C-alpha cells in the first residue's frame, strides 16, 4: 500500500541489504571469540566502558522507543513523551542501586547475581522462568515493529519482516553470542542516535508551513483493508481562533498553501506548535449490520498547547476525566517504567561484559547520556511526523520512517534500515538473555549439575534457535498492536517479578532463598494474571468489551510490586534460620 516498485525503492533495498550483510559478516568474523561460556555469555568481560555504554543504548532503544513513541506522539502528542520520561528515569535506579552490585556478584545471567548469596536451585529456577517470560513479552513489540517496517521499506508483507528478523537474529546470537550482540548494539545505537539527530535538525530546518486562514477542504479517503485511511494533515498558525485549513495535492500528501515559518530553533519550534491549531487525525470505528467493524480516519482540530499536555490518548484520557481508576492506572504505569529498567534481564547481563565495577558505572553514565539525548529528540520527531504531511493513519508505528520519507528516499532508506537494525539489536539481547537462562539456569536446575563450557554454549545456541522461532510466531500473532503499549506490559512484569527479589538479595541481610523465590513467583504470576485479565487485554488482544475485564485498571505494578515484596519479606521472616543457643 505504501511502497511500490518504483526505482527509489531499490535505494531502500540496497541500503537494507548492505546493513543486513554487514551484520552477518560481523557475526561470522567474531564467532571464534565466543566458543567458551565466558566469551559467549559475557564477551570475556573485556568490552570497554564507552562501547558498552553505547551498546546499552543500542540494547535499550528498541522498536518501542523509536517506532512506538514517535507514533504515539505523532497521533496523540505529549502522551507518547510520557514513555520517554519514564524509560529514561528507570536508568537512575539502574545506576544508583543495581549496577555495581550486579557487576560484582553476577557472572553470566540474572540468576547468578540474584542467587549469589544463596546457591539455591529454586531461586535459579524462578529467576530463569522470570527471565524467559519477561524476554518473551519484550520480544513481541520488537517483532511487531519489524513487521511494520518491512511494508514501506521493501513493499513486502509484515510476516516477511518478522521472519527476516528472526533468522538474522538467530544467526547473530548462535554464531558469536554476546561478542557480536555487543558490537551490533554499539553500531546500531550510534547510527540511531546520529540519524535521529539529523532528522530532528531537518525538522527544525523545515519549520512549519502555515497560512493565516481559509476554509478547510475535505481530503479524499482511500481504502486500506478495513481502514479508510486519509492522507496526512497540515498545521496552521493564524490569529487566535482561526480554523485549521489544508489542501490536498494529487500525490496524496497534504501541504499548506501559503507562508512558511522557515527554520526554527528547538524552543521556537515548540512555541509555534503550542500557539497553533493542529489537525490531528482520529480514527472512528463502528459496526455495520453484519457485525463487521469499519474504521475511518478523520481530522480533528486541536490546539497545539492541548496536544503538549498529557491526557489526549485513550490510554491517558482518564487524567482529564476525573476517573480515579484511570489516574491509578497512570501512576501504576509510570511506576513500572521507573522500576522496570533495573529489572530487565537483557539489560542487567550487559553489566557482565565490562571488566570491573568502575566500568559498569561509567558505561551506565554514557548510556544515560545517549538514551536521554534520544528521548529528547523523540518529541521533535513525533511532532515533526504529526506536522510533516506523511502519516499513515492506519499504522502509528510507521510515523518516524514515513517522516523520513518526506525528506527524501535516501533518508527514508537509511532511517528504515536503522530502525530494522534497532529491532535486530534489541532482539539479539533478548534472545541472548533467554538462551543464557535456559543453558545455565534451567539446565543446572533440571540436571542438578553444571554442564561443561562447550556444552553450555551448545545448549545456549539451541535455545537461541527456539527463542528466535517463538519470537517470530508471537510477532505475527500480535502484529496489530502499538509497540510501546506492549513494552509497558513487559516493564510491569519485569518490575513486579524481579525488582523486589533483587533488592532483597542485594540489600536485606535477613532475606532467605525461600523469600527470594517467593518474591519472584508471586510478583511474576500476579502481574501476568493481572495483565491478561485487564481492560487493555480484553479490548486490544481478545477483542472483547473492556467493561467485561476483571481488573479495575490495566497496569498492575502499583499492586503487584508491593505484593511480591511483602510475600518475599514474610516468607524470609518465616524461614530465617534459628541461631543455636551457646
Partner 1 sequence: MGRAGTSPGFAPILRTVPDQPAARSLTSTPNRHQHRRDWKRWALLAVYVCAYGGFIGVAVAAPALLATAVIGGINLAVVWGFALIVLAFVIALAALRLPEQA
Q: Which residues within the stretch 489-548 sit at the binding site for partner 1 (CB under 8 A)?
A: 510-514
Closer residue to partner 1 in complex, CB, 344/379: 379
Q: Minimum distance from CB of 71 to partner 1 (Å)?
A: 18
Closer residue to partner 1 in complex, CB, 37/171: 37
DSSP H/E element including 561: helix 557-574
CB 568 within 8 A of CB 518: yes
CB 487 within 8 A of CB 68: yes
SS3 544: coil
Q: Which of 368, 463, 470, 549 binds partner 1 (CB under 8 A)?
A: 368
Give how many residues touch partner 1 by CB under 8 A: 73
Closer residue to partner 1 in complex, CB, 262/577: 577
Question: Which alpha helices (DSSP H) does 258-356 contain, by range?
Answer: 266-274, 304-307, 318-321, 324-340, 345-348
Closer residue to partner 1 in complex, CB, 298/373: 373
d(CA 154, CA 412): 12
Touching partner 1, residues 240-269 (CB under 8 A): 267-268
118 scored as a contact of partner 1 (CB under 8 A)? yes
Closest CA to 69 of 377, 300, 430, 423: 377
104 scored as a contact of partner 1 (CB under 8 A)? yes
448 scored as a contact of partner 1 (CB under 8 A)? yes
84 scored as a contact of partner 1 (CB under 8 A)? yes
204 scored as a contact of partner 1 (CB under 8 A)? no
Q: Which of 300, 320, 455, 544 binds partner 1 (CB under 8 A)?
A: 320
444 scored as a contact of partner 1 (CB under 8 A)? yes
Q: Minimum distance from CB of 491 to partner 1 (Å)?
A: 15
- Helices and strands, counts by H and E, the chain: 24, 7
192 scored as a contact of partner 1 (CB under 8 A)? no
Q: Which of 27, 120, 312, 555 binds partner 1 (CB under 8 A)?
A: 120
Closer residue to partner 1 in complex, CB, 92/541: 92
d(CA 60, CA 154): 26
CA Rg, the chain, in Å? 24
Cell output for 80: 507518547
Q: Which of 63, 67, 93, 549 binds partner 1 (CB under 8 A)?
A: 93
Among the listed ranges 19-27, 142-150, 235-243, 308-316, the one in contact with partner 1 (CB under 8 A) is 308-316
Closest CA to 130 of 529, 498, 460, 565: 498
361 scored as a contact of partner 1 (CB under 8 A)? yes
28 scored as a contact of partner 1 (CB under 8 A)? no
Closer residue to partner 1 in complex, CB, 29/105: 105
Can you name the residues that pair with 284 across neighbouring β-strands?
A: 296
469 scored as a contact of partner 1 (CB under 8 A)? no
CB 429 within 8 A of CB 110: no
Closer residue to partner 1 in complex, CB, 293/324: 324
SS3 510: coil
CB 163 within 8 A of CB 19: no
Q: Which of 11, 116, 136, 566 binds partner 1 (CB under 8 A)?
A: 116
CB 208 within 8 A of CB 264: yes
Q: Minimum distance from CB of 288 to partner 1 (Å)?
A: 37
Among the listed ranges 40-48, 305-313, 388-396, 494-502, the one in contact with partner 1 (CB under 8 A) is 305-313
Q: Which of 7, 119, 215, 581 binds partner 1 (CB under 8 A)?
A: 119
Q: Minimum distance from CB of 109 to partner 1 (Å)?
A: 11
Closer residue to partner 1 in complex, CB, 126/413: 126
Q: What angle do CA 68, 71, 77 make, to 5 degrees?
A: 120
- Residue partners of 228: CB distance under 8 A and separation at least 6: 221, 222, 294, 295, 296, 297
19 scored as a contact of partner 1 (CB under 8 A)? no
CB 404 within 8 A of CB 416: yes
570 scored as a contact of partner 1 (CB under 8 A)? no
d(CA 418, CA 66): 10
Cell output for 6: 518504483
Q: Minimum distance from CB of 216 to partner 1 (Å)?
A: 26
294 scored as a contact of partner 1 (CB under 8 A)? no
Cell output for 549: 475485564
CB 186 within 8 A of CB 55: yes
7 scored as a contact of partner 1 (CB under 8 A)? no
Amino acid at each position: 500500500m505504501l511502497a511500490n516498485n518504483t526505482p527509489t525503492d531499490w535505494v531502500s533495498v540496497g541500503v537494507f541489504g548492505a546493513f543486513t550483510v554487514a551484520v552477518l559478516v560481523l557475526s561470522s568474523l567474531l564467532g571464534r571469540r565466543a566458543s567458551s561460556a565466558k566469551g559467549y555469555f559475557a564477551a570475556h568481560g573485556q568490552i570497554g566502558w564507552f562501547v558498552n555504554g553505547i551498546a546499552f543504548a543500542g540494547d535499550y532503544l528498541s522498536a518501542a522507543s523509536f517506532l512506538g513513541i514517535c507514533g504515539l506522539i505523532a497521533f496523540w502528542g505529549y502522551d507518547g513523551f510520557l514513555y520517554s520520561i519514564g524509560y529514561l528515569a528507570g536508568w537512575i535506579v539502574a545506576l544508583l542501586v543495581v549496577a555495581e552490585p550486579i557487576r560484582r556478584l553476577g557472572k553470566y545471567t540474572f540468576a547468578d547475581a540474584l542467587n549469589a548469596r544463596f546457591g539455591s536451585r529454586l531461586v535459579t529456577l524462578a529467576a530463569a522462568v522470570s527471565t524467559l517470560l519477561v524476554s518473551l513479552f519484550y520480544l513481541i513489540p520488537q517483532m511487531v515493529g519489524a513487521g511494520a517496517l518491512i511494508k514501506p521499506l521493501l513493499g513486502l508483507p509484515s510476516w516477511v519482516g518478522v521472519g527476516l528478523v528472526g533468522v538474522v537474529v538467530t544467526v547473530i546470537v548462535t554464531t558469536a553470542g554476546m561478542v557480536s550482540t555487543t558490537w551490533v548494539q554499539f553500531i546500531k545505537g550510534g547510527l540511531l542516535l546520529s540519524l535521529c539527530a539529523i532528522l530532528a535538525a531537518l525538522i527544525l530546518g523545515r519549520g512549519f508551513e502555515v497560512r493565516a486562514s481559509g476554509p478547510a477542504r475535505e481530503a479524499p479517503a482511500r481504502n486500506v483493508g478495513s481502514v479508510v485511511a486519509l492522507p496526512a494533515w497540515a498545521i496552521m498558525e493564524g490569529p487566535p481562533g482561526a480554523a485549521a485549513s489544508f489542501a490536498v495535492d494529487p500525490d496524496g500528501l497534504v501541504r499548506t498553501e501559503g507562508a512558511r515559518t522557515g527554520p526554527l530553533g528547538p524552543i521556537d519550534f515548540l512555541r509555534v506548535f503550542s500557539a497553533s491549531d493542529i489537525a490531528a487525525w482520529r480514527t472512528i470505528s463502528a459496526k455495520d449490520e453484519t457485525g463487521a467493524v469499519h474504521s475511518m480516519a478523520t481530522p480533528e482540530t486541536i490546539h497545539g498547547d492541548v496536544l503538549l499536555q498529557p491526557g489526549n490518548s485513550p490510554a491517558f484520557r482518564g487524567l482529564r476525566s476525573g476517573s480515579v481508576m484511570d489516574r491509578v492506572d497512570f501512576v501504576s504505569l509510570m511506576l513500572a517504567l521507573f522500576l522496570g529498567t533495573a529489572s530487565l534481564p537483557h539489560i542487567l547481563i550487559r553489566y557482565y561484559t565490562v571488566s570491573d565495577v568502575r566500568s559498569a558505572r561509567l558505561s551506565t553514565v554514557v548510556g544515560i547520556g545517549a538514551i536521554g539525548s534520544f528521548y529528547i529528540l523523540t518529541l521533535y520527531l513525533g511532532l515533526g511526523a504529526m506536522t510533516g504531511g506523511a502519516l499513515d493513519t492506519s499504522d502509528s508505528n510507521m510515523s518516524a520512517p514515513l517522516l523520513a520519507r518526506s525528506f527524501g528516499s535516501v533518508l527514508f532508506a537509511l532511517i528504515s534500515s536503522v530502525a530494522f537494525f534497532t529491532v535486530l539489536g534489541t532482539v539479539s539481547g533478548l534472545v541472548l538473555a533467554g538462551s543464557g537462562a535456559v543453558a545455565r539456569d534451567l539446565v543446572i536446575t533440571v540436571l542438578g549439575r553444571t554442564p561443561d563450557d562447550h556444552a553450555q554454549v551448545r545448549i545456549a545456541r539451541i535455545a537461541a534457535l527456539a527463542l528466535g522461532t517463538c519470537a517470530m510466531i508471537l510477532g505475527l500473532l500480535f502484529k496489530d498492536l502499538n509497540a510501546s503499549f506492549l513494552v509497558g506490559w513487559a516493564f510491569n512484569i519485569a518490575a513486579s517479578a524481579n525488582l523486589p527479589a533483587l533488592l532483597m538479595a542485594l540489600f536485606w541481610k535477613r532475606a532467605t532463598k525461600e523469600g527470594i523465590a517467593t518474591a519472584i513467583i508471586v510478583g511474576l504470576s500476579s502481574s501476568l494474571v493481572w495483565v491478561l485479565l485487564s481492560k487493555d487485554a480484553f479490548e486490544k488482544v481478545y477483542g472483547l468489551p473492556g467493561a467485561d475485564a476483571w481488573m479495575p485498571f490495566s497496569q498492575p505494578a502499583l499492586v503487584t510490586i508491593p505484593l511480591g515484596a511483602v510475600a518475599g519479606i514474610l516468607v524470609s521472616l518465616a524461614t530465617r534460620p534459628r541461631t543455636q543457643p551457646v
